[in-house]
Chain A
Amino acid sequence: MPLRPALLAASQPAAAPSPPREATAVGLLAALAALAPFLLGWLSLAPNRLLSPRPAELPMGPELGLAMGGFLLACLLVLLLARRAALLPWAEAAAALALCALLATAGLGARAALEAASPMARAMPAAGVWVAMLLLALAAGSCAAGRGGTPGRFLALAVLGVGGLLATGLLDGLSVVHEAAARGPELRSAFSGHLALAGGALALALMVSVPLSLLALRRPRLEAALMGLANGFQVVPSLALFGLLMGPLAALAALWPALRDWGVGGIGPAPAILGIAAYLLLPLASSLLAGLRVASPALLDAARGQGMTEAGILRRLRLPLGWGVMLGGLRVAAVQAVGLATLAALIGGGGLGRLVFQGIGQMAADLILLGVLPVVLLSLLVDGLLAILQSGLEVAR
């Protein structure tokens, strides 16, 4: 019988590939995530929305047991899948699954606990659930780092899963969801206000930094002035900057009342947008200048020597070679804009910050969360979209 070495070799059991570097970290994080709710509590109950919550027993039932089992199984899956480098993306997906099961458990628990309590009572996830969520996110991050990427898969699946849970009403028992339902229109207007603040500030900062960076490219003194200004803004605390802008803007509005119709005044969105835009100058201008300089002097010499115009050099060399760097700066600036827009509420600028500061004023944790969660989500979304765009452009090169 003829020997078929290739086939024989294939049937040999392959040497077990060594687990990836991240296996230990991911495993540990997943195990801790599975333990956390049992050690730190699943659920808290408060008599009403303003009183402090107390730890509560999880009222066990068949549905709840199923969800909890799913959570533990998913954590185990994360731990096992992370042992193989090729399976790391699946470990990341399993982490998203664990997160959804965890929330479902908390949601079901809250629903059952509220049935036995007064109508004013509020149920919320206890520390253990929050810690477990954090640990799962970290585990997913480690998995993503193992394949040299960002945990986009985890985020997308988690958002989809949580969206699904919300849609089916499984999480209605949780106080944040309750609060959101009660404040639907307010939440929506705060969200669109937040988008307008962040988007407006980003647009304004781009309108200033793009032409200035192009001009500064060949004028060292302008560059020094621009970077000095951009750096200077970073030193001023944001609230102080908003405060500093109040005076001049109020004076302007008093001088030309027509400006008031445009929303310019000492308080309100105008100083907020101006202030946020000032902070965005540094990431934008520095990355624009760095991006425009990716094309090396030798390359520019060759281009000029062949008769390319300065406009042609910008369009065909500086921009295509610098996209990655410039988008990186835009990413930082956009995320920063979303975060800073939260502070606009302090000077009457609106946005999701209003919910946060109202919540702080009323000591209502749910209201704070209602403001904070969309901000976090928005930041992740903006960052993720720009990251996809960035990697897409780098592949296209």
Chain B
Amino acid sequence: MIRFEGVTRRYGDRAVVDRVTLDVPDGSICVLLGESGSGKSTLMRMVNRLVEPSAGRVLVNGRDVTATDPETLRRGIGYVIQSVGLFPHWRVAENVATVPRLLGWEAARIATRVDELLALVGLEPGRFRDRFPHELSGGQAQRVGLARALAADPPLLLMDEPFSALDPGTRRGLQAELRTIHAETGKTILFVTHDVEEALALADTVAVLEEGRLAARGRPAELLERGTGAPVRRLFGEESLAFHRLATLPASTIARPEDAAGDLPILPAEASLKQALMLMLSEGSDRLAVPPTGEFPGGTLYWADLVRPA
């Protein structure tokens, strides 16, 4: 677990991060969302001591990070950045093995681990192990970056706008895969982004930063409830707030528990209302069938319910 306690970082007179107190529970994805200059990266970089706080403290698993020397601390925390930063003169395998090598693992253990990780991030080890970074596409490079961060199996991952430089398709693919990898590994992830859709797609909790201060925080659905504060409305866009809100609600919540007519388009129960709306628009239908899953008994989703003010 990460805990920020009244953390402030000043450069000269300007507080880039201003008295932020925030908890990130174990095994969750917390997205730090804000415009550029809001202090979100600086806040994140205080966790692995790339930036030291001017006041307040950062605790990882109850221990003040300043109690550990920076290098040891960083080797125990995965780190992924927007520019990827793969070492151009090292092959993919050597890049992934950076931290295990720093930790002095045996060569055989490193080799097994590298192949395991490449497979985890969706790169066939045999094809990619011996490539140089310049032989990779942007998406492949960031997959390697992710594998590198996971190499020594750190419980905590810091990700600084890792997908921002990728094209939209690749970005969505990697977001979905990050969720899968998160579900498989149960890492605690602190994820910095300025992209609201990315935040909603990934976050267990979102922390909105504005001018260094924590402006709002909560589960995506809570964050976008009616009557939310000005910073959130501004960041998500006043006119598209309702649309984003749909993305935070599962379709099963407002489906009527009645048997659906057989010829309706089918929407999976775990899909969001935004996906339901998209399906209605693309199928030209004002009703959708939601099949039963788990505790949800199945039902029909009506256009009228979707647009009714909740």
> A308 — which chain B residues lie within 8 A by C-beta?
71, 98, 102
- State whether B75 touches A307 (Cβ < 8 A): yes
Q: CB of A219 within 8 A of chain B?
A: no
A-B pairs with beta carbons under 8 A, tally: 58
Within the assembled complex, what's the spacing in Å between the Cα atoms of A190 and B85? 52
Whether A306 touches B75, Cβ cut-off 8 Å, given contacts A298-B83, A301-B81, is: yes
Q: CB of A218 within 8 A of chain B?
A: no
- State whether B81 touches A298 (Cβ < 8 A): yes
Q: CB of B88 within 8 A of chain A?
A: yes
Name which residue of chain B comes closest to A305, CB basis.
B79
Name which residue of chain A comes closest to B86, CB basis.
A302
> B83 — which chain A residues lie within 8 A by C-beta?
296, 298, 301-302
> B166 — which chain A residues lie within 8 A by C-beta?
none
Q: Mark A276-308, 1 if CB is under 8 A from B, else 0.
A: 000000000000000000001011011111111
> B98 — which chain A residues lie within 8 A by C-beta?
306, 308
- State whether A305 touches B48 (Cβ < 8 A): yes
Within the assembled complex, what's the spacing in Å between the Cα atoms of A306 and B85? 11
Within the complex, the shortest CB–CB distance from A42 to chain B, in Å, comes to 54
- State whether B89 touches A320 (Cβ < 8 A): yes
Within the assembled complex, what's the spacing in Å between the Cα atoms of A321 and B74? 23
- State whether A306 touches B74 (Cβ < 8 A): yes
Whether A321 touches B72, Cβ cut-off 8 Å, given contacts A302-B84, A307-B99, is: no
Q: CB of B113 within 8 A of chain A?
A: no
Query: In the complex, which range does the number of interface residues on chain A fall in?
Result: 10 to 19
- State whether B85 touches A307 (Cβ < 8 A): no
Whether A309 touches B71, Cβ cut-off 8 Å, given contacts A302-B79, A304-B50, is: yes
> A302 — which chain B residues lie within 8 A by C-beta?
79, 81, 83-87, 145
Q: CB of A312 within 8 A of chain B?
A: yes
Q: Which of B112-166 contact A (CB under 8 A)?
A: 145, 148-149, 158
Within the assembled complex, what's the spacing in Å between the Cα atoms of A298 and B86? 9
Q: CB of A227 within 8 A of chain B?
A: no
Among A296, A304, A397, max chain B CB count under 10 A is at: A304
Within the assembled complex, what's the spacing in Å between the Cα atoms of A287 and B50? 29
Within the assembled complex, what's the spacing in Å between the Cα atoms of A296 and B83? 10
Within the assembled complex, what's the spacing in Å between the Cα atoms of A306 and B48? 9
Name which residue of chain A comes closest to B85, CB basis.
A302
- State whether B50 touches A305 (Cβ < 8 A): yes
> A165 — which chain B residues lie within 8 A by C-beta?
none
Q: CB of A317 within 8 A of chain B?
A: yes
- State whether A307 touches B87 (Cβ < 8 A): no
Within the complex, the shortest CB–CB distance from A325 to chain B, in Å, comes to 14
Given A299-B85, A307-B74, A321-B88; 8 other pairs, CB 8 A cutoff? A296-B83, A302-B86, A302-B145, A305-B50, A306-B75, A306-B148, A306-B149, A321-B89
Q: Would you list 24 pairs from A and B whose C-beta atoms are within 8 A, ordered by A residue?
A: A298-B83, A298-B85, A299-B88, A301-B50, A302-B81, A302-B83, A302-B145, A303-B85, A304-B50, A304-B74, A305-B50, A305-B81, A306-B74, A306-B99, A306-B148, A307-B70, A307-B71, A307-B72, A308-B71, A308-B98, A309-B71, A317-B87, A320-B89, A397-B89
Going nearest first, the 8 A-B pairs with the smallest beta carbon separation are A302-B85, A307-B74, A305-B79, A307-B75, A298-B83, A307-B71, A298-B85, A299-B85
